[in-house]
Amino acid sequence: MTDKLQISRASLADWPTIQAWCAAEGWNPGDHDGPCFLAQDPEGFFLGRIDGEPVSAVSVVNYGDAFSFLGLYLVKPEFRGRGHGLATWQAALPRAGERTVGLDGVVAQQGNYRKSGFNDAHRTVRHLGTLTPDGSGAAAVPLAEADAADVIDYDALCFPAPRPVFLREWFAAPGHVARALVVDGRLVGYGVIRPARDSHRVGPLFADSRVYAEVILDALVAGIGGGPVAIDVPETNAEALAMVGELGMEPAFEVARMYTGPVRDLDPGRVFGITTLELG
């Protein structure tokens, strides 16, 4: 059934197609995600085509020598059930080599991912709500005013691999608002909010405590003038769940963070919102 499927690397020129498919699934892709994603690993994005028409996609993005993240696993609806998605997956996954691979799997696919060697780490639940800044974020500063090395080091406490290339693009992308909180000369958290199809998306939101996370979040919301906001909250952080609940944000959908092997020790108590379901 896949004889006519041709799988090749996707480029930035292909991103609008992938972005539109993400939007159709209700994933609310960021307006400027594509250049940031490809900056991390330009060779990590794949499209399957039939007679030149894109029908399937997947990404296997490498972070250093030990970790890779699989995302954007999509098949155009009218081409589903023909094996095109699996063929694209099988063509792309070897790019990870011996690295541990992570993904955020939708409920409908989690059984298939387990059969492919992925094991559950935790659930992540997207929360949606309309937020209005109250001024409590005044202590947070533009991220550019924080020490860049401190930000990269802090991020490494909350993500399975160093990602300085991705972060530089993420912080500087059009419409992205980034804020940091420094207390007594020490960075205690940072966050980013970006424009997306249906609402602004917060990610990452990393902080030493709920109090600090609330300050940063208010600063991010102030940076966009308030409005509909989405945050992907890992259930490993009870304080994060309590925070979004008290803000009146409602659960929208869930995914499972899954890994094929071990990842380095992280501090789940600092992760109030993950960066992106597509790249981790």
CATH of residue 205's domain is: 3.40.630.90
Task: Report yes or no: 257 and 121 within 8 Å, Cβ to Cβ.
Answer: yes
Domain closes at, from 124, 152, 184: 124
Residue range of the domain that includes 239: 125-273
Task: Report yes or no: 14 and 54 within 8 Å, Cβ to Cβ.
Answer: yes
Does any domain span residue 167? Answer: yes
Percent pLDDT > 90 in the chain is 98
* pLDDT above 70: residue 2: no
Q: What angle do CA 123, 124, 128 make, to 5 degrees?
A: 145
Task: Report yes or no: 162 and 64 within 8 Å, Cβ to Cβ.
Answer: yes
> What's the rounded mean pLDDT across residues 26-48?
96
Does any domain span residue 280? Answer: no
> What's the rounded mean pLDDT across residues 63-78?
96
Other Cβ atoms within 10 Å of 267 Cβ, number: 11
Question: Which of 161, 137, 105 lies closest to 223 in space, CA to CA?
Answer: 137
Q: Are residues 117 and 129 in the same domain?
A: no
The 10s digit of each residue's pLDDT in 185-204 is: 999 999 999 999 999 999 99
Structure tokens at 70: 């699989």
* pLDDT above 50: residue 125: yes
Q: Given this model, what pLDDT does residue 19 score? A: 96
Q: Are residues 155 and 262 in the same domain?
A: yes
Does any domain span residue 35? Answer: yes
**Domain harbouring 55, CATH code:** 3.40.630.30
Q: Are residues 79 and 196 in the same domain?
A: no
Does any domain span residue 61? Answer: yes
The 10s digit of each residue's pLDDT in 132-174 is: 999 999 999 999 999 999 999 999 999 999 999 999 999 999 9
Domain closes at, from 124, 151, 183: 124
Q: Are residues 168 and 83 in the same domain?
A: no
Q: Given this model, what pLDDT does residue 1 score? A: 47
> What's the rounded mean pLDDT across residues 67-78?
96
Q: Given this model, what pLDDT does residue 209 score? A: 98
Q: Given this model, what pLDDT does residue 3 score? A: 61
Does any domain span residue 279? Answer: no
What does the chain look like in DSSP terms, one character per residue?
--TTEEEEE--GGGHHHHHHHHHHTT---BTTHHHHHHHH-TT-EEEEEETTEEEEEEEEEEETTTEEEEEEEEE-GGGTTSSHHHHHHHHHGGGGTTSEEEEEEEGGGHHHHHHTT-EEEEEEEEEEEEE---SGGGG-EEGGGS-HHHHHHHHHTTSSS--HHHHHHHHHSTT-EEEEEEETTEEEEEEEEE-BSSSEEEEEEEESSHHHHHHHHHHHHHHHTSEEEEEEEETT-HHHHHHHHHTT-EEEEEEEEEESS------GGGEEE-S-TTT-
The 10s digit of each residue's pLDDT in 94-122 is: 999 999 999 999 999 999 999 999 999 99
How many whole angstroms from its chain centre is CA 264? 18
Does any domain span residue 238? Answer: yes
Q: Are residues 132 and 208 in the same domain?
A: yes
Q: Are residues 144 and 65 in the same domain?
A: no
Cα–Cα dist 193/220, whole Å: 6
Q: Are residues 114 and 134 in the same domain?
A: no
- Confidence band, pLDDT 50/70/90 cuts, at residue 70: very high
What's the structural domain count of the chain? 2
Does any domain span residue 278? Answer: no
> What's the rounded mean pLDDT across residues 237-250?
98
Domain closes at, from 124, 147, 172: 124
Cα–Cα dist 250/240, whole Å: 13
Mean of the per-residue pLDDT values for the chain?
A: 96
Q: Are residues 134 and 115 in the same domain?
A: no
Q: Are residues 72 and 194 in the same domain?
A: no
- Confidence band, pLDDT 50/70/90 cuts, at residue 80: very high
Does any domain span residue 137? Answer: yes
Q: Are residues 132 and 97 in the same domain?
A: no
Q: Are residues 111 and 71 in the same domain?
A: yes
Cα–Cα dist 278/280, whole Å: 6
Q: Are residues 103 and 44 in the same domain?
A: yes
